Amino acid sequence: MFKLAIKNIFYYKGRSITTFLLTFFSATLFIIFVSFMHGSHKTMLHNALKVYTGTIQIYQKDYRDEGGYDYLIFDNQKVFNSLEKIKGIKSYTSRVETFGIASSKNNSSAIMLTGVDFKKEAKISELKNALKTGKYNTKSNCLYMGEDLAKKLNISLDHELSFVGSAIDYSFAADIFKLCGTFKTGMYEFDNSSAFLNREYFDGLFYSQNASSYIVINVNDLDKNNYIASQISKSIGKDLKVYTWQDLMKSMVELVKVDSIFGYISMALFFMVIFFVILIYGFINISSRVKEFGVLKSIGLRDIDIDKILIYEILILTLSAIVIAICLGGSIAYYFEINPIVIEGISDMYKDYGIISDTVPTDFDIFTIFWNVSLIFSLNILSLIYPIYYVRTFTPVEAMRHV
């Protein structure tokens, strides 16, 4: 039967070539498409994490629900000591956030003032790279603030502004600051209402020595992030809570999911078309061979033998097409993972999502490729069900009379 199937494939070239090419192209395209989709999602997330969020954050248990100074981490050093013992952490830093009113000569605005360790911060976030004017590493009462915020307050470099808020013992805290640098991250909330101050000066003003709102961590390998998070969780005690980027960036994770679903739906529609073309070609071919099958049946082939011939035919065609598609699509996906495509301006287009580079790498992933092609494979096999049923409805005599 197998030999007969092979001979049929070479004999009925039109159908064979159509089926082969369609399967081949759709599988290749699918692999590349999905790799690009995953790649751009991954880049999007990575970039977003890189901008400011980091991959893990540690909070006092209730801070994220309750907020306020009562739920700060009051012993940074102890947490740092624990972190030092855990493998796979690339960098970490602490941040203290406070809210208050900033006023220039002309305008006032509610702002979030964050005390950061500028040196450590540079290893965690993109704050340094987002520098627009002035300096990043500001000293004493120098502020580093969002470009839009500076505009809102209508001040430029070296101008003064006042800030009124409360220290962490709830005492009144106010000071005069100087604008020493502005940044733009592309994230509106951030550029529009955030300012940064070096830790030493901040601590002096707000009495926040060795305390923090939260601690940010970056890991070396994002795939191990959850494992590292659980390690940290074990080592830092019950009062503190560890959040991974999936917890922190829920909306973006959702966004990516929705986008993937749309991607798959459009691919699915595309496959439907391919599927029907293969089905129709297969059916036309097979119905033109009904007479031949009738002869085979009358000289002693069982229905199941005929089924086998048809199944072997599609198996050979589909498998060979898919194997080649995996090789080709896979190597294209792999190539572009190593040499990402550069699309000028894409970072502008997606700046709201925190994309900060123009490169779009693919995500080469054997598992994804595997289940993608199994899908195509199953569709092809599925396209045989009706023709097989159709051929079975004929008795040998009817089949031989069939024209």
Partner 1 sequence: MIKLKDVQKYFYKGEEREVHALKNINLEIEKGEFSVLTGASGCGKTTLLNAIGVLDQISSGSIELEGKEIAHLNSDEKTKIRLNDMGFVFQAYNLVPVLNVRDNIAFIMRLQGYSEDRIKTRVLEIAQLLEIDNKLDSLPSLLSGGQQQRVAVARAVASKPKIILADEPTANLDSKNSQSLMDMMKELNEKEGVTILFASHDEYVVKSVNRIIKLDDGALV
Asked if 395 touches partner 1 (CB under 8 A), the answer is: yes
Asked if 17 touches partner 1 (CB under 8 A), the answer is: no
Nearer to partner 1 among residue 351 and residue 392 (C-beta)? 392
- Total count of residues recorded for the chain: 403
Nearer to partner 1 among residue 11 and residue 335 (C-beta)? 11
Residue at 119: amino acid letter: K
Nearer to partner 1 among residue 159 and residue 291 (C-beta)? 291
Distance from C-alpha of 33 to C-alpha of 267, rounded to nearest angstrom: 9
**Single residue of 7, 85, 119, 257 touching partner 1 by CB under 8 A:** 7
Distance from C-alpha of 31 to C-alpha of 364, rounded to nearest angstrom: 9
The nearest distance, CB 383 to partner 1, in angstroms, is: 21
Tokens 């033998």 -> residue: 305
The answer to whether the beta carbons of residues 219 and 232 sit under 8 Å apart is no
- Which residues have C-beta within 8 Å of that of residue 222, sequence separation ≥ 6? 46, 55
The answer to whether the beta carbons of residues 175 and 163 sit under 8 Å apart is yes
Asked if 345 touches partner 1 (CB under 8 A), the answer is: no
Distance from C-alpha of 14 to C-alpha of 19, rounded to nearest angstrom: 9
Asked if 397 touches partner 1 (CB under 8 A), the answer is: yes
The nearest distance, CB 327 to partner 1, in angstroms, is: 29
Nearer to partner 1 among residue 10 and residue 367 (C-beta)? 10
The answer to whether the beta carbons of residues 369 and 44 sit under 8 Å apart is no
The nearest distance, CB 14 to partner 1, in angstroms, is: 14
**Structure tokens that stand for 148 in this block:** 């839009």
* Displacement of CA 81 from its chain's centroid (Å): 32
The nearest distance, CB 284 to partner 1, in angstroms, is: 17
Nearer to partner 1 among residue 9 and residue 242 (C-beta)? 9
The nearest distance, CB 316 to partner 1, in angstroms, is: 14
- Which residues have C-beta within 8 Å of that of residue 25, sequence separation ≥ 6? 325
Number of residues that bind partner 1 (CB under 8 A): 20
Closest CA to 319 of 262, 278, 376: 376
Nearer to partner 1 among residue 132 and residue 302 (C-beta)? 302
Asked if 154 touches partner 1 (CB under 8 A), the answer is: no
The nearest distance, CB 314 to partner 1, in angstroms, is: 16
Distance from C-alpha of 322 to C-alpha of 331, rounded to nearest angstrom: 14
**Structure tokens that stand for 112 in this block:** 């979030």
| Segment interacting with partner 1, rule: CB under 8 A, options 131-139, 163-171, 348-356, 392-400 | 392-400
Asked if 400 touches partner 1 (CB under 8 A), the answer is: yes
- Which residues have C-beta within 8 Å of that of residue 54, sequence separation ≥ 6? 124, 125, 216, 217, 218, 245
Give the contact letters, 289-318, x = binds to partner 1 (CB under 8 A), - = no: --xx--xxxxxxxxx---------------
Nearer to partner 1 among residue 295 and residue 311 (C-beta)? 295
The nearest distance, CB 280 to partner 1, in angstroms, is: 22
| Segment interacting with partner 1, rule: CB under 8 A, options 109-117, 226-234, 324-332, 389-397 | 389-397
Tokens 């700046």 -> residue: 351
Binding site for partner 1 (CB under 8 A): 4, 7-8, 10-11, 291-292, 295-303, 395-397, 400
